[in-house]
């Protein structure tokens, strides 16, 4: 595995560096809002279009199919052309097609538009990681990356509060507002994202950093698989929990939104704390951290499945999210320690493709399992628990070639 590290270019003024962080934070907030908004919007959409759980799952999943297909090309493009062009294109697509989603009337058109929005979203993770790698020292990147990642929870809060309020009035309003906010983030990225010239490499370096060489790196596929399994859990919770809480405990959209907002606040805190914790105590021990947290997640999901008490279930849900988000933070911080920044976009594109495939599979698989279980979530929760355990086992296969 490559450990090539050159001295990173420093920005001339610290305020530009802060401006970049602020821009990435805002972009991550609105991207997070887009991902979360559908979990509450699906309730009125399903009623309006008379969708069953299989169709609802398909509508939520097509986003992740588009996301998955374009992750690797987006990461490669960020490495070859720079992060700025990918960031701008990504947010431009999300803004335009989220607006069109809000004015659409048919199920077929809605799933097509969510697919395209997923394509737009796919460019943000690898290009934002690439932007961090290009503009910060290696020993700063874990903390900076965790801060940027943490703000995705603010997007979920917006979705579960302001978004839920708009959706309760008319679900289309939520997507109109989201489209406008994405446009604001795009303007900020235009202003503050520096253009980095991709330097010419020698033939030897080109061979080392070629996409074919990247594809031969087994560690990439280990992290790809782990991210898929982890996101199956996270998106299973995010996309189906409102429906489960509504059906199992009779909670209203307002109460569900409050619970999910509190979880999102906790996610922000956990992501930042996990980044600091990893930076101080677990550098080069990330696989142990991920394996431990996901093993605990496995146990907690089984306990959640068996709980029939609302209070106990909510406490268990918070614990599940606590450990799963800690592992997710480590999955994004780890590559900064083991990969060269010259291939960061491409490798993160591949790894995060696993994550988006998990996001694609979770609603479809869980929706099908719920359907064949005549509305019972038992089999779906078993699938989530097995996925968590397998994630914890998968990362143990990573071997540091430099030891």
Within 13 Å and on the Cβ side, how many CA atoms surround 385?
17
Residue-wise pLDDT for 210-228, tens only, equals 666 667 778 888 999 999 9
Which of residues 146 and 187 earns the better pLDDT score? 187
Within 13 Å and on the Cβ side, how many CA atoms surround 265?
8
**For position 403, what pLDDT does the model report?**
46
**For position 209, what pLDDT does the model report?**
55
CB 369 within 8 A of CB 380: yes
Check pLDDT > 60 for residue 318: yes
Check pLDDT > 60 for residue 164: yes
CB 350 within 8 A of CB 125: no
Check pLDDT > 50 for residue 351: yes
Residue-wise pLDDT for 276-310, tens only, equals 888 777 777 888 899 999 999 999 999 999 998 99
The three-state secondary structure class of 197 is: coil
Q: Lowest-confidence range among 19-23, 50-54, 178-182, 197-201?
A: 197-201
In this structure, how many other beta carbons lie within 10 angstroms of the beta carbon of residue 268?
19
Residue-wise pLDDT for 6-26, tens only, equals 344 443 335 666 788 888 999
Categorize the per-residue pLDDT at 198 as very low, low, confident or very high, splitting at 50, 70 and 90. Answer: low
Domains of the chain (ranges, CATH numbers): 14-194+210-397 (1.20.1250.20)
Q: Which long-range contacts (CB under 8 A, 24 or more apart) does 203-212 make?
A: 205/4, 208/2, 208/4, 209/2, 209/4, 209/340, 209/342, 209/343, 211/76, 211/346
Predicted TM-score (pTM) of the model is 0.67
Tokens of 42: 């699906």
Check pLDDT > 80 for residue 241: yes
Which of residues 342 and 377 earns the better pLDDT score? 377
Check pLDDT > 80 for residue 340: no
Check pLDDT > 60 for residue 100: yes
């Amino acid at each position: 595995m490559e450990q090539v590290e050159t001295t990173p270019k420093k920005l001339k003024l610290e305020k530009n560096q802060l401006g970049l962080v602020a821009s990435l934070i805002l972009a991550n907030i609105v991207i997070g809002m887009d991902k979360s908004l559908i979990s509450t919007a699906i309730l009125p959409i399903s009623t309006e279009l008379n969708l069953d759980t299989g169709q609802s799952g398909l509508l939520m999943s097509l986003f992740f199919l588009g996301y998955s297909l374009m992750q690797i090309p987006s990461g490669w493009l960020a490495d070859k052309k720079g992060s700025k062009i990918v960031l701008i294109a990504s947010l431009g697509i999300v803004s335009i097609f989220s607006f069109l989603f809000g004015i659409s009337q048919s199920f077929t058109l809605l799933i097509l538009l969510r697919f395209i929005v997923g394509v737009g979203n796919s460019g943000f993770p690898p290009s934002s990681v690439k932007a961090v790698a290009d503009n910060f020292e290696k020993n700063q990147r874990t903390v900076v990356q965790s801060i940027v990642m943490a703000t995705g929870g603010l997007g979920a809060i917006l979705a579960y509060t302001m978004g839920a309020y708009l959706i309760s009035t008319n679900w289309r309003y939520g997507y109109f507002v989201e489209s406008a906010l994405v446009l604001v983030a795009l303007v900020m990225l235009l202003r503050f994202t520096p253009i980095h010239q991709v330097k010419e490499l020698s033939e030897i370096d080109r061979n080392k950093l070629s996409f074919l060489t990247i594809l031969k790196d087994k560690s990439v596929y280990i992290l790809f698989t782990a991210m898929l399994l982890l996101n199956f859990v996270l998106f299973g919770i995010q996309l189906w929990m409102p429906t489960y809480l509504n059906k199992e405990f009779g909670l209203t959209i307002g109460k569900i939104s409050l619970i999910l907002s509190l979880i999102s606040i906790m996610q922000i805190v956990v992501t930042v704390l996990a980044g600091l914790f990893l930076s101080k105590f677990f550098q080069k021990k990330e696989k142990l951290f991920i394996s431990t947290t996901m093993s605990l997640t496995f146990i907690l999901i089984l306990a959640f499945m068996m709980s029939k008490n609302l209070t106990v279930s909510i406490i268990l849900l918070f614990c599940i999210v606590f450990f799963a988000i800690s592992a997710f933070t480590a999955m994004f911080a780890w590559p900064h320690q083991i990969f060269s920044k010259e291939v960061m976009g491409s490798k993160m594109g591949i790894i995060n493709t696993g994550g988006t495939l998990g996001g694609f599979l979770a609603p479809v698989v869980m929706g099908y399992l719920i359907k064949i279980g005549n509305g019972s979530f038992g089999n779906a929760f078993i699938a989530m628990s097995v996925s968590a355990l397998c994630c914890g086992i998968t990362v143990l296969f990573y071997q540091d070639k430099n030891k």
